[in-house]
């Protein structure tokens, strides 16, 4: 799993499992410092305008919470949807643990894989619903 895939997976991981794993990582005694955040931000959701070169339009804004930590000298970044200060810190701790190859890096990988499976299952269920939707043009 790439760093970008792990970052995205931690953003969508189950909150309780993410926080439990971050607590376990912190219990190993590694030095930790929060270097940025946690802070809530608002970012635009942009989509391309068909046929208009590189023109985009803003559909709206989404609230996110981000955080950066240093765990045992290794940087970790986390982001979560909405106002989730604890989740952003937990995601950053898990990201740093994975980057540094710490004792619980394998559990971080398992959590990320489970989050990705859940995301894929939700996407497949949505695709089935969309496919079942018909429009009668008669």
| Domain locations in the chain as residue ranges | 3-128
Q: Considering the chain, what percentage of its residues have pLDDT values greater than 70?
A: 99
For residue 138, what pLDDT is reported?
64
Q: Which residues of 87-103 are buried (b: 16+ CB within 10 A; e: fewer)?
A: bbbbbbbbbbbbbbebe
Integer Cα distance of 113 and 119 in angstroms: 10
Q: What is the mean pLDDT of residues 70-91?
A: 98
Residue 53, pLDDT score: 84
Q: What is the mean pLDDT of residues 2-12?
A: 96
State the pLDDT at residue 22. Answer: 98
Do 28 and 103 meet the contact criterion of CB atoms below 8 Å apart?
yes
pTM of the model: 0.86
Can you read off the two tokens belonging to residue 11? 């953003």
d(CA 41, CA 68): 14
């Amino acid at each position: 799993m790439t760093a970008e895939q792990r970052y995205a997976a931690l953003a969508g991981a189950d909150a309780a499992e993410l926080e439990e794993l971050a607590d376990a990582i912190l219990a190993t005694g590694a030095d930790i410092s929060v270097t940025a955040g946690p802070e809530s931000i608002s970012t635009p959701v942009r989509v391309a305008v068909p046929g208009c070169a590189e023109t985009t339009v803003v559909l709206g804004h989404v609230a996110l919470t981000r955080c950066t930590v240093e765990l045992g000298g290794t940087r970790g970044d986390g982001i979560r949807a909405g106002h989730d200060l604890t989740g952003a810190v937990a995601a950053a701790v898990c990201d740093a643990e994975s980057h540094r190859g710490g004792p619980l890096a394998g559990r971080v990988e398992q959590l990320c894989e489970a989050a990705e499976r859940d995301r894929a299952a939700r996407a497949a269920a949505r695709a089935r619903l969309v496919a079942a939707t018909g429009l009668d043009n008669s």
